[in-house]
Amino acid sequence: MKRESLTSGALKRSRWIGAKAVIAASLAVSSIAIVGLGSASQAGASSKKFSIAFVVGAEADPFFQSMYVGAHAEAKKLGVTLIWQGDPVDYSPSTQIPVVQQVLAEKPSALVIAPTDTKALEPYVAQAIKKGIPVFNVDSGDANQKNITSWVTGNNVQGGTAAADALASALNYSTTCTSASPCTVAVGVSSITTSTDAARLKGFDAQLKAKYPNITALNPIVSQSQSSVAQQGFAQDISAHHLQGIFAIDGTDAEGAAAAITAAGSAGANIKVVGYDAYASNIASMQGGKIAAIISQQPTLEGKDIIKYAVQRLKQGNAKGIPHLLTLANIVLTPTTSQATLNKYVYTAS
């Protein structure tokens, strides 16, 4: 009996210690979350009249962080509330749809969305429009989608074409790549199903076929948005194929490519890399001689323009004067680009 009582006491103490541990862990996690929420809520501090919900995919990506800078500045300037949301990591409709549903429940004046899958998001876009909420697309989208008010995006096919031109130029195509001795290039993508990657690859392949037939592109490696996975794949291509060049289709692939040719030493010394997205790390790699050119989008401008059009639509009550599709040009950055221009286009979170 005494033993049972002791065991019970020990069990209670154990449970109490366990409960304390859980409470302490919960408090720690909650504190961090509250600090994070505190800084996030600053985005909505300028609430006046209209509120614009802005839902992106993979929110922590420097591309979307840079888009936030433009959207936030424009929202503040025009005196509207910005509700900025998105899954921090996953670029997927399965994680984006619940976020869209949540922000629609807040009854925003307008919805801006970077759809991770245009078809999968279409019912939610229709639902918003039915409630009288105008919808705008940014970055990804579908040119045939008539019910959205406006779509601001970079031209991904043109970006792929520009990448092919930049790579051919870096390779000194006319003398290096001949029919007797063609050049081989590796390609890295984050996902073969993402519309932006697919469009860039389409532009790249079409330009090679049209203007640079002596360049052969290997099957793309898939990095799943992880630079270490991209690096592992590029290292295999370097060993297997006597590569002359690499087209890294987005920022994380460009990071992986720069690391792979550095680690390859002499085998990687003459490999020309053309990357996409002006991450600060990629600009540094270009200045260090590891990347020959970077195709930069203009996410800050995309964020700014789409907020401008959303507010215009809300103020005037119709879409008059608002372009249904605005395509922003991609910028080719090279080691000779001025520091002022690099500072203008580098993706920044502040």
Q: Which stretch binds another protein (CB under 8 A): 109-117, 163-171, 226-234, 330-338?
A: 226-234
| 36 lies in the site for another protein, by CB under 8 A | yes
- Return the sign of the alpha-carbon dihedral for residues 239, 245, 248, 254: positive
Cα–Cα distance, 128 to 107 (Å, whole number): 9
Among residues 17, 27, 210, 269, which is the contact residue for another protein, using CB under 8 A? 17
Which one of 115, 203, 233, 245 is in contact with another protein (CB under 8 A)?
233
Q: Does 69 bind another protein (CB under 8 A)?
A: no
Q: Are strands 293-296 and 331-333 parallel, antiparallel or unpaired?
A: antiparallel
Identity (one letter) of the amino acid at 119? K
CA distance 162 to 142: 22
Q: CB 98: neighbour CB atoms within 10 A?
A: 10
Dist CA 193 CA 191 (whole Å)? 5
60 binds another protein (CB under 8 A): yes
Asked if 53 is part of the footprint of another protein (rule: CB under 8 A), the reply reads: no
Q: Does 335 bind another protein (CB under 8 A)?
A: no
According to the binding rule CB under 8 A, does residue 92 interact with another protein?
no
Q: Which stretch binds another protein (CB under 8 A): 59-67, 117-125, 173-181, 299-307?
A: 59-67
Map the footprint of another protein across residues 106-165, applying CB under 8 A: none
Answer for which of 101, 102, 228, 270 binds another protein (CB under 8 A) is 228
**Token pair 């979350």: residue:** 33
Please state, in angstroms and rounded to a whole number, the distance separating the CA atoms of residues 135 and 26: 38
Q: Which one, of 257, 306, 261, lies nearest residue 277 by Cα?
A: 257
Residue 333 interacting with another protein (CB under 8 A): no
- Position 37 contacts another protein (CB under 8 A): no
Nearest to another protein of 6, 17 (CB atom): 17
Alpha carbons within 13 angstroms on the beta-carbon side of residue 191 total 11
Check residue 280 for interaction with another protein (CB under 8 A): yes
Distance between CA atoms of 339 and 284, rounded to whole angstroms?
A: 11
3-state secondary structure of 298: coil
Binding site for another protein (CB under 8 A): 14-15, 17-19, 21-22, 25, 29, 32, 36, 59-62, 65, 88-89, 192, 218-222, 224-228, 231-233, 235-237, 239-241, 252, 255-256, 258-259, 262-265, 267, 279-281, 284-285, 288, 290, 349
